[in-house]
Amino acid sequence: MNTILIVAEHHAGQLNPATARCVSCARKIGGEITVAVLADAPAAIAAQAATLDGVGRVVAVADTAHTQALAAMYAPQIAVLARGFTHVLAPSTTFGKDLLPRVAALLGVAQVSDLMQVEGPRRFVRPIYAGNALVTVEVPQEQTVVATVRTASWPEAAAGAQAAPVETRSVDAALPKHTRFVTLQSAKSERPDLQSAGRVVSGGRALGSSENFRIIYQLADKLGAAVGASRAAVDAGYVPSDMQVGQTGKIIAPALYVAVGISGAIQHLTGIKDAGTIVAINKDAEAPIFEVADYGLVGDLFKLVPELTQALG
C-alpha cells in the first residue's frame, strides 16, 4: 500500500492551488494521501487542504520558524515527517524545487523532477531537454519516492464537502540558524495568478518598453487573463522576472494562451505545451510560434492588439 505525503505550499494563509494539483497526481499513484502543512499558524490552511478530494489526513506543524517557507527550515522537518511514507511530493514551483532536493539528499535518495505522467507507483514520465524529449524513469524498490510534480500536467483536485481529519504535530528536528529571511518584493496585482489562470496573455521583446506593455494588460483585463512574458521581455526590464514563461520560468497550462510579439523559441514553447488553445500575433509569417499556434494572426501588434481588445467588447 502506498502512503503519500504531500508538502503543502501556501502564502498569506491561503493554500496554493499547486497543492491541489499534487493531490491529483497522488491519486493517480494511488494510496493513502496525507498533506503536511508547516506554518506559523497552520489551522486555516490545513482546513483548506482537508477538503480536497482524495486527502485522507492532514498533518499541521505550527512553528514560528515557518513564518517564511525556507527550505533550510522545512527540509529537516519534512525528512522526519517522511518516515513511514513511500512517497513524498511537492509542486514543481520555486517553493518545491528549492525544498524537495534538500529533503531527498537528507533521506539519501534520488529525486524525480517535474513528474508529468504516472506509469506505475514507482515509474514516471518527466521532460528533459526543455521538453523536447520525455524520459520514463523508475525509482529503485527500496527508496522513498521523492518527486516534484509538474503542475501544468495535473488538474486541481476538487474541494468536496467531506473534510479529512487534521492532526496537529510537533516535529523533533534541529533547525539551523544559518539562513534568515529578509524581504519578499511582490508586485501587488489584482490580476489572476499566472500559474493557475485559465487565460494568459504574454508579451515579448517586440513590445519594446514597459509603457507599451500597457496594451497587453488592457487585453488581459478584457479577457480576465493573467499576464506573462518571454525571457527577452523580462531581461529588457519591461516586466518583473516572476512573469517569465518557459523552460527556466513558469510552466503553465491555461485554456487560452495569447502570445504577442513572441518568436516561439523552444525555451518559451516548453512553458506553454499544455495550453488548450494557443493564439499568436506576430508580424513575421515565418515565426516559429505559428508552428504551434491554433490560431495565427500576422500583422503589427500595435495595431492588432488594441483592435482585438476593442472587438472583445
Ligand X SMILES: Cc1cc2nc3c(=O)[nH]c(=O)nc-3n(C[C@H](O)[C@H](O)[C@H](O)COP(=O)(O)OP(=O)(O)OC[C@H]3O[C@@H](n4cnc5c(N)ncnc54)[C@H](O)[C@@H]3O)c2cc1C
Task: Provide, rounded to whole angstroms, the least separation between the CB of residue 239 and ligand X.
Answer: 11
Q: How far apart are CA 170 and CA 229, in angstroms?
A: 42
Residue 118 and residue 28 in contact, taking contact as beta carbons nearer than 8 Å? yes
CB of 207 to other proteins, least distance (A): 18
User: Is the dihedral angle over the CA atoms 171, 175, 181, 184 positive or is it negative?
Assistant: negative
Name which of other proteins, ligand X, none residue 197 binds, using a CB cut-off of 5 to 8 Å depending on partner kind. none
**Residue 261: which of other proteins, ligand X, none does it interact with, CB under 5 to 8 A by kind?**
ligand X
Instruction: Output the smallest distance, CB 43 to other proteins, in A.
Output: 22
Q: CA-to-CA distance for 228 and 265, rounded, in angstroms?
A: 15
Residue 150 binds to ligand X (criterion: CB under 6 A): no
Tell the smallest beta-carbon distance from residue 188 to ligand X (Å). 24
Contact between 195 and 250 (Cβ < 8 Å): yes
For residues 252 and 195, the answer to whether their CB atoms sit within 8 Å is yes
Please report how close the Cβ of residue 8 comes to ligand X at its closest, in angstroms: 24
**161 touches, from ligand X, other proteins, none (C-beta below 5 to 8 Å by class):** none
Q: Which is nearer to other proteins, 166 or 297 (CB)?
A: 297
Residue closer to other proteins, measured from CB, 161 or 285:
285
The answer to whether residues 13 and 45 touch, using CB atoms and an 8 Å cutoff, is yes
Which listed option, other proteins, ligand X, none, makes contact with residue 204 (CB within 5 to 8 Å by class)? ligand X
Judged by beta carbon, residue 84 or residue 140, the one nearer other proteins is 140
Considering the complex, state which of residue 78 and residue 287 has its C-beta at the smaller distance from ligand X: 287
Grid cell in block for residue 110:
534520488
First-to-last C-alpha distance (Å) of the chain? 54
Site string for ligand X, 225-264 (x = CB under 6 A): -----xxxx----------xxxxxx-----------xxx-
Using the structure block, give the residue that is written with the C-alpha cell 513558469.
250
Cβ atoms of 269 and 292 within 8 Å: the answer is: yes
Separation CA 151–CA 181 (nearest Å): 26
Range 109-138, binding ligand X (CB under 6 A):
135, 137
CA 297 from centre of chain:
29
CA atoms within 13 A on the CB side of 296: 16
Residue of closest CB approach to ligand X = 246
Position 106 contacts ligand X (CB under 6 A): no
Taking CB under 6 A as the rule, does residue 148 contact ligand X?
Answer: no
Residue type at 212 in one-letter notation: N
Binding site for ligand X (CB under 6 A): 135, 137, 204-206, 230-233, 244-249, 261-263, 265, 267-268, 282-284, 287, 300-302
